Structure 1
């Protein structure tokens, strides 16, 4: 059995990835990643646009890295008890 990478994305996965692209652009560790995220945000406004398999792979990687590095800006927080 050979491993085949997942390249076809459902609309809900694409929407989820697009949701995080502004955060990726803002918190990117390098200019290339920030520019890629901004580019995707511009392209997604085109009618009928879908990411290419390579774009999709990069989007998945950037969002994964965002969560792996604790991409929340607020840091620790206190729960409000009532």
Structure 2
């Protein structure tokens, strides 16, 4: 069983601008913008449900972008 720690809020917010841009339906856009606004408040932390949704949305962005998912992500420098 893989027991990796949950991403921190700071880690999720690092990717949040990409999530805001990638949100397709109205609900996702509203949620993403709401989190972006709330996160600017001092000592803000998401609820458990918000944190779970944030993780899903960040994961979805990277799943579709395909970042770092193959051997060809970084060209090899050969002598």
Both structures adopt the same fold (TM-score exceeding 0.5): yes
Question: Match for residue 13 of structure 1?
Answer: 8
Question: Match for residue 58 of structure 1?
Answer: 53
Q: Which of the numbers 37, 43, 47 marks the counterpart of 1:42?
A: 37
For residues 10-30 of structure 1, give each alpha carbon's deviation from its aligned partner in whole angstroms, at most 9, with x where no partner exists.
Answer: xx7211111111111111121
For these two proteins, the number of residue pairs brought into alignment is 69
* Aligned residues: CA RMSD: 2.4
If asked which structure has higher relative contact order (CA below 8 Å, sep 6+), I would say 2
- Unaligned runs of at least 5 residues, structure 2: 68-72
